[in-house]
Structure 1
């Protein structure tokens, strides 16, 4: 803890001093982030660092396993963060970011390991569909590292589906005012894979090339009601 306290004490004199005008502007005008990032709480995954974003540029929500509970099942911090980001802040993009070596996914693979952590076990039930997909649709002899990666990738897909159940997100999707992105961060290489909604595959994000988008519907007008006969 001493190193954290030391760093905090240096922040105002070193870091803040270099960016004083930016912080003063943010304090005066408020935040206006372009994207909401829902990532794992893993200490090795830092969304602002991955996206090279500065203060005010990202609205970040972190939790064990980058989970998005379906709207009807939980009114909690994640649901509130999503609603605030979409309605109050008007973000145009939402990213769900999984990662390699995820402890939550390891626990999902081996539920017995979660017995001492009942709250974690209950939370990870929101990722149960991903585990079922890997158990049923992937080869039984898949080596454990590949199985863990497959689970993390499928979990990103599942959480994107959950995201679309939130009324605020559903409305913006129908209007074409928000795009959904599924990312996977490989800690050991720094590679970032993005879900391509058109092909259903994850593809590397390459500098200078537009990243795949998981879900970006075209704007459409509300459906007309059929006239009563």
Structure 2
């Protein structure tokens, strides 16, 4: 806590004046929130920095493993903060974009991958470990689908660069598209599952009935992003190409055109 307190003092002396000036400047005009950004609580992620957002532009929801409880699960288990956040952002504040952002070396997803062949262990829920219960409730669907689609042999061949884990479909609220994870086989198997998991959670956003009329009209759009922590590289999922593409000068214009069409 000493470091936290010293950090606040540093903020007070060096940054608070600029911060309050920014808040005052933005409060004098209507600042329309642009995005509901759902991401992991991993301390290496700083979504506001990634997207260079101004105060008031991003509603950020964070939890272990960038989970979005499927509407049926949320309804069965009680109200979810993520569902409430989607309503607050998209319905009450008229936000037109929802981003689910996963990342490499995600400890929550790594745990799911380690238990991929023993679903019964993932299904175990205990108040002694709220984290295990959280992963069980909202990560089991990812693991089940991934292991049904790809055998252990397929996964290992992919790790050796001999095959691609692809050909599966997801839907972000309007139409299905064919997907592949890591078609260039740059990442390890845990990170491949992380990309798959990110797509699963983005599709879960579309399960909320209150969003579905907006999704059908194109007034709300769902996007999946994935951050490579070691390289500091953000990727955006392209439904047209069917995989995550690095956001760079050479790809930015085409990606922006695709997601706004």
Return the offset for 1:156.
0.9
1:70 alignment counterpart: 70
Which among 124, 136, 143 is matched to residue 135 of structure 2? Answer: 124
Q: Following TM superposition, by how much is the alpha carbon of 1:199 offset from its aligned partner in structure 2, in angstroms?
A: 2.9
Provide the C-alpha distance between the structure 1 equivalents of 2:32 and 2:51, rounded to a whole number of angstroms: 16
Q: Is the 8 A contact 2:125 2:133 kept in 1?
A: no
- TM alignment of 1:2-13, pairs within 5 A: 2-13=2-13
Specify the alignment match of 1:20 in structure 2.
Answer: 20
More strand by percentage: 2
Gaps of at least 5 residues in structure 2 are: 116-120, 161-186
1:35-54 equivalence runs, <5 A: 35-54=35-54
Q: Quick check: 1:194–1:211 contact (8 Å CA) kept in 2?
A: no
2:253 corresponds to 1:210: yes
Q: Is the 8 A contact 2:104 2:227 kept in 1?
A: yes
CA positional deviation for 1:64: 0.5
Q: What per-residue deviation string (whole Å, max 9, x for no partner) do you get for residues 60-80 of structure 1?
A: 000001000012322121111
Query: Residue in 2 aligned with 1:226?
Result: none
Q: Is residue 197–residue 212 contact of structure 1 (8 Å, CA) maintained in 2? A: no
**Correspondence for 2:87 among 83, 86, 89:** 83
Unaligned runs of 5+ in 1: 219-229
Partners of 2:149 and 2:109 lie apart in 1 by: 17
TM-score (norm 1): 0.83
**Is 1:94 paired with 2:98?**
yes
In structure 2, what is the Cα distance between the partners aligned to 1:166 and 1:106? 27
Question: What do residues 160-193 of structure 1 show as CA deviations (whole Å, max 9, x unaligned)?
Answer: 1110011232121112112211011000001112
Task: Supply the distance in 2 between the matched residues of 1:12 and 1:171 (Cα, whole angstroms).
Answer: 45
Distance 2:211 2:13 in 1: 40
- Does structure 2 retain, via aligned residues, the 8 Å contact 1:37–1:97? yes
- Deviation of 1:148 after TM superposition, in Å, equals 0.4
Q: What secondary structure is seen at the aligned counterpart in 2 of 1:124?
A: helix
Q: Residue in 2 aligned with 1:180?
A: 222
1:200 and 1:44, CA in 2 relative to 1: closer, same or farther beyond 3 A?
same
* Aligned residue-pair number: 217
Alpha-carbon contact 1:176-1:217 (below 8 Å) kept: no
The whole-number CA distance in structure 1 between the counterparts of 2:9 and 2:86 is 32
Query: Compared with structure 1, are the counterparts of its residues 4 and 150 closer, same or farther at alpha carbon in structure 2 (3 Å cutoff)?
Result: same
Q: What SS is found at the alignment partner of 2:66?
A: coil
